[in-house]
A and B are shown apart, each in its own frame.
Chain A
Amino acid sequence: MTFGGMRKKLNKMKYFPIILLTLFLISLCPNNGVCGKKEIVLNADMQYNYAQKCFKEKDYTTAIFEYKRFINFFSDHENVTSAEFKIGEAFYNLKDYEKAVMAFNKIILAENPEILTPPGSDLSESNITDAYFMKSKALVLLGKFVASEVCMHNLLKITEDKITQDRAYSFLTLLYLKIAETNPDALIRAKKYLQEISLESVDKPQKDHLAKTLADMNNLKTKSPAIAGITSIIPGAGYVYCERYKDGLVSFLFNTALMIAAYKAFDDGNHALGAAISFVEAGFYTGNIYGSISSAHKYNRRKRNEYIQKVHNQFHIRIDSSKEDEQIQLFFKVPF
């Protein structure tokens, strides 16, 4: 290497420390806006509001996830119970009733005071009350009527608030009206719970409507299966008693014809034919008695179902638990 080449190389090398120092200083630069990336600190309100937003937009799956994240990271926050309730509601809206029941149960078991204070006085108590109702609704939709009733009775044990009690009795009334579609004895229980609803909190038209509904339950038209069976000794009379006039006429004519035919056969000495016709006639005669008794039972079931349908259609007991309005408009709607 010549002296000139060495000199050039030394000139270049003098910049090397400056470059090295610059790189060192850059590496110490904090990760802030100056360098391009921004750090976001998520607080409880932001997380909760985001979950609420997802719920309002009916993105229930995301809402559940976000509420759970909120509960996990901010377990001491005052909105935790509300978040747990919202998780239950989200499962309910997704029609995952099993998980909804579990979610509402968690609230009920975790915060189970001996006595509930009236709704409106504290947000958490209101959530507990609503958790009982939502759990009961979900159980009804799962077909678990007994469990639903038990849940309502548990609520009645711990609440002293008249409005909540009336809501619970209304729920139980409709629950038993639902059960009465397949089990007629349930109608008596429905009537019993209907009477428990405080009429003081209902305005006069509602009160009159309630009274009339109770009276209708006592006046349901029924047919006696015993009378139907006894009258059917005359073929067709049992059907006529049950207001089945065509069946009665056909039964009378058919049985009469077979009886006459059997008599004629025996009278003509044709015993084999007479026996065969008698055998057939025995079946139809017994069938006439059986059919008459069965018709009475079917009549009673039809009248009962018509009444229940009428109650569901016309008599909506809907609880509007608006805290501003203590004069209750007692309506309660259970989405069966």
Chain B
Amino acid sequence: MALESCSHGNPGMNFFQEHISPIDGNRCSSYPSCSQYSNTAFKKHGAVMGWIMACDRLVRCGRDTATLSKKVVINSEVFAFDPVEANDFWWYEEKVE
């Protein structure tokens, strides 16, 4: 499974993913990466909640989340699986199509 960028209309994240992240590669120990998570949160919940969830993720990433979350293996690397859905299930109801 390739790490996908999820930069939909977020200029800050777009800039980070296109110009800063490629310098040292993906260093996030979680999947999706923090920038992808932020983009998804912004897209799903809007600017305010997206910003709050992104800040929460930046604090948590690589610490207790790494031990408590399920693991996924991508390109032979192990990541902590921490999608947006794992952090908004208690207040956001997914629309069933």
Which residues on A are within 8 Å of B, measured CB to CB? 225, 239, 244-247, 250-251, 254, 283-284, 286-288, 290-291, 293-294, 297-298, 301-302
Contacts and interface: CB of A to CB of B under 8 A. Distances in A.
Contact of B63 (A247, A283, A286): A247
Nearest to B66: A246
A298 B68 CA distance: 10
Contacts of A244: 60, 63-64, 68
B55 A287 contact: yes
B86 A288 contact: no
A286 B55 contact: yes
B19 to A, nearest CB: 20
14 contacts: A239-B64, A247-B60, A251-B59, A283-B51, A287-B52, A287-B53, A287-B55, A287-B56, A287-B57, A291-B59, A294-B87, A294-B90, A297-B89, A298-B87
A284 B90 contact: no
Nearest to A254: B59
A288 B63 contact: no
Given A290-B52, A294-B90, A297-B90, A284 B59 contact: yes
Contacts of B52: 283, 286-287, 290
Interface of B: 51-60, 63-65, 68, 86-90
A89 B69 CA distance: 39
Contacts of B87: 294, 298
Contacts of A287: 52-59
A185 to B, nearest CB: 13
A293 B87 CA distance: 10
Contacts of B64: 239, 244-247
A244 B66 CA distance: 11
A231 to B, nearest CB: 16
Given A244-B64, A286-B55, A287-B54, 18 more contacts: A244-B60, A245-B64, A246-B63, A247-B63, A247-B64, A250-B63, A254-B59, A283-B55, A284-B55, A287-B53, A287-B55, A290-B53, A290-B56, A291-B59, A293-B90, A294-B87, A297-B89, A298-B68
Contacts of A294: 56, 87-88, 90
A294 B68 CA distance: 14
Contacts of B86: 298
Contacts of A245: 64
Nearest to A248: B64
B10 to A, nearest CB: 15
Contacts of A288: 55-56, 59
A35 to B, nearest CB: 69
B53 to A, nearest CB: 7
Closest 8 CB pairs of A and B: A287-B55, A291-B56, A287-B56, A246-B63, A297-B90, A244-B64, A283-B55, A284-B55
B55 A247 contact: no
A180 to B, nearest CB: 14
Contacts of B57: 287
Contacts of A250: 59, 63
B35 to A, nearest CB: 15
Nearest to B86: A298
A290 B86 CA distance: 13
Nearest to B48: A286
Contacts of B58: 284, 287
